[in-house]
Amino acid sequence: MSPKDWADDVEEDEDEATSDLAKRLGAKLPDPSDAEPSSTTADSPAVASLASRIGGLSTDSQPPAAAPAPAKEKERPRLNPQAPLFAHSLAGVKADRTTPSSAPAETPAAAAAPAATPAPAEKKEEKPAEMNDDGWGPGPTNGNDGGGNDAASGLISSDSRFEVEVKLADLQADPNSPLYSAKTFEELPIHKDLLKGIYAAGFTKPSKIQEKALPLLLANPITNLIGQSQSGTGKTAAFTLDMLSRVDPALMTPQAICVAPSRELARQIQEVVDKLGQFTEIKTFLAVPGSWQKNVKIDKHILIGTPGTIYDMISRRGRIFDEKMIRVFVLDEADEMIQLQGLGDQTFNIKKMLPAGTQHVLFSATFPDHVRTFAQLFAPNANHIYLKQEEVTVDAIKQLYLVCDNEDGKFEALSRLYDSMTIGQSIVFVKRRATADEIASRLISEGHAVASLHGEKETGQRDEILDGFRNGKTKVLITTNVLARGIDIQQVNMVVNYDIPVLGPEQGWAVDLETYIHRIGRTGRFGRKGCSVTFVHDQRSQDEVNDIMQQTGRPMKKIDASNEADLEKLDKALKAAMKGPN
């Protein structure tokens, strides 16, 4: 894999800052091939080096978040008491809104895992890799969305239960669901103009992560937050409402930055911020390559973008925006954003330039143990909301694997799936860009509405392809890891892992569990159901699937592409997934 290929999956079109990073990464990265990178796991020396760099950051001596250094704080802009959202809307300071009585304390200990994990239902004994004979495996081994009730938790476990419909309201009333909420948005410390935006977006109740994170995020004094919640459970709205609450609309300069690993995700986040903030005066700016001009100041309140571009802007020392005005720094997909071989360098470089007292907010569906250490160094004294390992995947996503004869048999199986299934929309993940293009053109020649998207395409073309998929013009998107994280398209009811994601050579090409979890999380969003189908074509890929089952503690049902009964069941499951929870 060439250094460029390794780096450019996520930042391929970044400018100088990225090429510099790519050069530096290049020195360490072997295996020239055209594979798209998976997020990489830093090994111990890397951890040590990163930790030492964090230790040397000028802002590292960030005060305990709850008590920003007074001297530095004085340099910061003064609050505008007239600002409609700022200050008055924040938790604990809004006189006319009662702070929720159950708002968690501000100490990390008080906000640790239990905050995200209400009294767990009685656990069943785990038997990760065993299958039932009923064709679709057992219900959840332990769970967070149905307490073992297949109808509520996922797709089907027997035909008799297949028709049971579970509504979003049911899921939000189930204490074991990540969508559960004991509260309403009104009970949370959110300004009325933002409430209007929330209701206009169609949200009626907060999800668990929103309910838990918002009081912590909005409390004063400002405290950092590291928040983990399953894919598709509403993390974006949680950090978006924090940014919207903390900027002063009267100050026409960026005051919050959100970084994401891909331009597609940055665009999507910008849409969410614009939607939730539509009844405010707050404006956003998309900071991706080509979107800004040197020496032209940005007068918008919230910057959302990829880290190479934002670092490039910020390193121009006030000519694009004044970094001293930044109050909130959000890392979406934070585990990826702080990994050394991913986007870590630029993210750390941005952090170094921000004033003391900036709130650091890190969100992801995955925080592997070694990354938690980084995260805690990056966001000192943060409140933590972590999931237990067995809670990381949602049961609403039925995980299957499909056995093919060999590598060539994978395309035949895929083609068969699309010929015989009633598939709404689906995303197929492959390792190499060339494979994405090749599969797309073969499926197109068979008459399917397919597109491919990867890091080598022009940025404008990438936007057009994703928009086409979002609005249903294309039904199948063949892509690489560039879309593995964050992309939210509710009608996607199937994810195919045509190639199983693996880590780099330094990790012995081991299964990339985090990428697997994020990939399958493109379906089954916010209470909807979905299927993931992982292709197995030899002993190695079978071992990888076994490894995934073992690590997630979730069984995966084996399906045979040549078995009509299996295909029929998959078809039924996909049809159920298309109904959605509402």
Ligand X SMILES: Nc1ncnc2c1ncn2[C@@H]1O[C@H](COP(=O)(O)OP(=O)(O)OP(=O)(O)O)[C@@H](O)[C@H]1O
Residues binding ligand X (CB under 6 A) = 203, 205-207, 210, 229, 231-237, 365, 486, 488, 490, 521, 525-526
| Closer residue to ligand X in complex, CB, 248/264 | 264
| Closer residue to ligand X in complex, CB, 231/245 | 231
- Return the half-sphere exposure (C-beta side, CA atoms, 13 A cut-off) of residue 524: 26
| Closer residue to ligand X in complex, CB, 414/483 | 483
| Closer residue to ligand X in complex, CB, 212/537 | 212
Q: How far is the CB of 330 from ligand X (least distance, A)?
A: 12
| Closer residue to ligand X in complex, CB, 97/525 | 525
- Segment holding 16, helix H or strand E: helix 16-26
| Closer residue to ligand X in complex, CB, 86/367 | 367
CA-CA distance, 500 to 1, in Å (whole number)? 17
Q: How far is the CB of 525 from ligand X (least distance, A)?
A: 5
Burial class (CB in 10 A: 0-12, 13-18, 19+), 52: exposed
Q: Which residues of 246-269 are buried (b: 16+ CB within 10 A; e: fewer)?
A: bbbbebebbbbbbbbbbbbbbbbb
Cα dihedral 538, 540, 543, 544 in deg (nearest 10)? -110
| Closer residue to ligand X in complex, CB, 239/285 | 239
| Closer residue to ligand X in complex, CB, 410/522 | 522
Closest CA to 208 of 240, 176, 254: 176
Task: Please report the DSSP string for 502-528 in residue order.
Answer: B--GGGTT-B-HHHHHHHHTTSS-TT-
- Return the half-sphere exposure (C-beta side, CA atoms, 13 A cut-off) of residue 317: 0
CB 382 within 8 A of CB 342: no
Q: How far is the CB of 485 from ligand X (least distance, A)?
A: 6
Q: How far is the CB of 234 from ligand X (least distance, A)?
A: 3
CA-CA distance, 453 to 117, in Å (whole number)? 37
Q: How far is the CB of 364 from ligand X (least distance, A)?
A: 7
User: What backbone phi and psi angles, to 5 degrees, belong to 513?
Assistant: -60, -40
Closest CA to 535 of 507, 554, 516: 516
Q: How far is the CB of 237 from ligand X (least distance, A)?
A: 5
Q: How far is the CB of 530 from ligand X (least distance, A)?
A: 12
| Closer residue to ligand X in complex, CB, 168/356 | 168
Q: How far is the CB of 211 from ligand X (least distance, A)?
A: 9
Write out the two tokens for 535. Answer: 């292709």
Q: How far is the CB of 541 from ligand X (least distance, A)?
A: 25
| Closer residue to ligand X in complex, CB, 157/207 | 207
Residue 360, C-beta contacts closer than 8 angstroms, at least 6 positions apart: 65, 224, 225, 329, 331, 351, 378, 379, 382
Q: Is the peptide bond before 215 cis (omega within 30 degrees of 0)?
A: no
Q: How far is the CB of 73 from ligand X (least distance, A)?
A: 31
Closest CA to 327 of 86, 64, 99, 61: 86
Write out the two tokens for 285. Answer: 């700016």
Q: How far is the CB of 184 from ligand X (least distance, A)?
A: 10
CA-CA distance, 581 to 525, in Å (whole number)? 10
User: Which residue matches tokens 């895929």?
Assistant: 414
Q: What is the DSSP letter of 316?
A: T
| Closer residue to ligand X in complex, CB, 229/474 | 229
CB 254 within 8 A of CB 325: yes
Residue 540, C-beta contacts closer than 8 angstroms, at least 6 positions apart: none
| Closer residue to ligand X in complex, CB, 292/363 | 363
Residue 373, C-beta contacts closer than 8 angstroms, at least 6 positions apart: 47, 51
Q: How far is the CB of 515 from ligand X (least distance, A)?
A: 12
Rg, Å, the chain Cα set: 23
CB 390 within 8 A of CB 553: yes
Q: How far is the CB of 511 from ligand X (least distance, A)?
A: 19
| Closer residue to ligand X in complex, CB, 141/364 | 364
